Structure 1
C-alpha cells in the first residue's frame, strides 16, 4: 500500500504541522513570499502553513515586513469563530453524513477497527466520529496526532488574521465558508476506505514526513515543495488535484488581478502548495505577463 495519503490530504486541506526539531528559524536569502508587479503597482503573495507551533516563530522577516506595509490582508476563507455557535453548527452539519448513513458504511470492518484502536489512545471511539465524512475524519486524526506530539499551534493565517484585527487592517477572503465546507465534505468520495486506512498507517511518520516540507516552506524552496506536495498529489489523485488545486488557482487569478489599480497595498496569503509548480497561482500570473519576484 502506498503511504501518501497523510501528506496529500494535509496539504489539500491546508493542514500542516512542523516539528520542534526545526526551531532554529534561520533567515535565508528567500522565502515563500512573492512580489507581483504591473508597472509601478504591486500585489504581494505569501505561501502559508496553517498549523505552526510556537517554536517556529518568529516567521521569516519577509512575511512580517510585507505585512507592515500592507493595508489589506487577503485569506482563503474566514472560518467561524469558536464562539460562533451557528457558524460551527453549519460547518459540522456540512461535514456530516445524511441521516441513516455513517462512516461505518463506507469503510471495511478492518479499517473501522483500526480507527477505533487509534482513537482509544485519546479515550475516544470510532462511533463518536462516525457521523463525519472521511475528509473531516482524516483531518481530525492529523490534528489529534499533532496535539499528542506537541506539534499543534497557531498557523500563519490565524496569526495574521489576529494581527490585522488588532491593527485595524482590512481583511478579505477568496472563498466562502460554504465552498470550503463542500470541498472538504467531498474529499475521499469513492476511496473512503483507502483514505482512512492509509492515514492511520502513516500517522506515526507524521513528524519526519513533514519536517522537510516545512523546511522547504521557510527557505522558499519551490522545487522541493512541488516535489513533496504538488507532484505527489497530482500523480496519486488527479481528479482531487483538479478540484483542490487547479480549479481554485484559476478561480483566484481574476480576484488577484482585480487588486491592481487601486490605492491600497494587498498581501494575499494562501497555502504554499498553491504557489509552486505548473498551474500554480504564481505560474498563472507569470503567464498573464505580470512581473514576479520571489523575495
Structure 2
C-alpha cells in the first residue's frame, strides 16, 4: 500500500532534480512574464533570507524547480532583490536545448554503458506498468530502458506534471533568462558534470523500488505540488521541511546525504567567499536546501552569520 511518506519522497526528488534535466529533455521553459497576475496574493514572509556579517549582505532565495505559469508573477521580494543584485548565483548552469555537446554528455552520463538496461533490473510487473503509463504519452518503456532510474524517475514526474497542467518554467530558469536579458553576471555552485553524476547514481541498486513507487505515487503529484508551492510562496519552512525533507531523509538516507547534506556543506565556502566585496549577490537554490537539519542557512548561522527571513 502506498503511503504519504512515499509520496513525499517522490515529490522531493522532483523538486530537487528538475532544475537542469527537465528543461533540457522536455523543453519545459515557458514565457511566463505575461502569465496570470497573482499580485493580490497576501505576502508576509517568503522564501528569501538576508544573510549578513561585518556590514556585508548576501541574499539567499529558495526556489521551486518546476512552476506552472499560473504562479507568476513571483512573490514581489524575489523581483525586488533581483533588481538590486549585480550577480545571481545558481546551483548549476542550465544547458540550452540546442547545446549538442551538453545533450550528448547528459545522454552518456544518464544511460547504461555496459549492455545492461533498466529492464534487466525490474520485475516484469513493474516494467509492464511503466510501459502502460508511458503509452498515454505515445511512448514506451523500451524507449526509456537504456536510461538509469534517477533520470527515468525525473522524466515521469515531469510528464505527470505536464498532464496535470502543473508544468512550467522553474524559478531558476526564469531568473536565468532575466539575467541574460539584463546582462547580469551569473555564477554557479556546481558543474553540469556533478549534477549528471548525482542523478545517475540515484536509485542504483534499488531500481525496482525506485520505479514502482514512483508509478504508484504519480496520481498524487498534483495535490502535493500545490501544497509545496503554497508553502514556498509563504516561506513556510515547517511545511517545506515536512513536504520535501523529513521523509526523504527517512526513506532514502543515502540519497539524502548525496542530494542535500553533502551539497549544503560544499556550498558554504563558496557563499562565504561572496562576502567582503562590492558585488550584491542573489543566491538561488532549491527550497529544500534551506530547511531541515544541516540546511545552508543553519550552517551559515553556526559560522556567525546573521540570518533574517524577508
Q: CA deviation at 1:64?
A: 0.4
Corresponding position of 2:33: none
- From 261, 264, 277, the equivalent of 2:279 is 264
Corresponding position of 2:57: 42
Q: Secondary structure at the match of 2:85?
A: coil
Q: Secondary structure at the match of 2:44?
A: coil
Please give the alpha-carbon distance, in whole angstroms, between the structure 2 residues aligned to 1:263 and 1:208. Answer: 43
Matches within 5 A, 1:107-122: 107-122=122-137
Please give the alpha-carbon distance, in whole angstroms, between the structure 2 residues aligned to 1:29 and 1:264. Answer: 27
Matches within 5 A, 1:21-100: 24=38, 26-100=41-115
Q: Secondary structure at the match of 2:65?
A: coil
Please give the alpha-carbon distance, in whole angstroms, between the structure 2 residues aligned to 1:89 and 1:67. Answer: 33
2:12–2:243: 8 Å Cα contact kept in structure 1?
no
1:14–1:49: 8 Å Cα contact kept in structure 2?
no
Please give the alpha-carbon distance, in whole angstroms, between the structure 2 residues aligned to 1:96 and 1:211. Answer: 32
Q: Secondary structure at the match of 1:35?
A: strand
Corresponding position of 2:170: 155
Q: CA deviation at 1:11?
A: 3.1
Corresponding position of 1:185: 200
Q: Does 1:133 align with 2:141?
A: no
Please give the alpha-carbon distance, in whole angstroms, between the structure 2 residues aligned to 1:262 and 1:222. Answer: 30
Q: Secondary structure at the match of 1:122?
A: coil
Q: CA deviation at 1:39?
A: 2.1
Report how many residues are paired.
291
Q: Deviations over 1:159-210 (max 9, x none)?
A: 1001101111000000000000000000001211111111111111111122
Q: CA deviation at 1:244?
A: 0.5
Q: Deviations over 1:114-146 (max 9, x none)?
A: 000001101111000000000000111111111
Structure 2 spans left out of the alignment, 5+ residues: 23-27, 29-35
1:14–1:271: 8 Å Cα contact kept in structure 2?
no
Corresponding position of 1:273: 288
- From 13, 16, 28, the equivalent of 1:9 is 13
1:75–1:173: 8 Å Cα contact kept in structure 2?
yes
Q: Deviations over 1:226-274 (max 9, x none)?
A: 0111111111111111110000000000000000001100000000000
Corresponding position of 1:207: 222
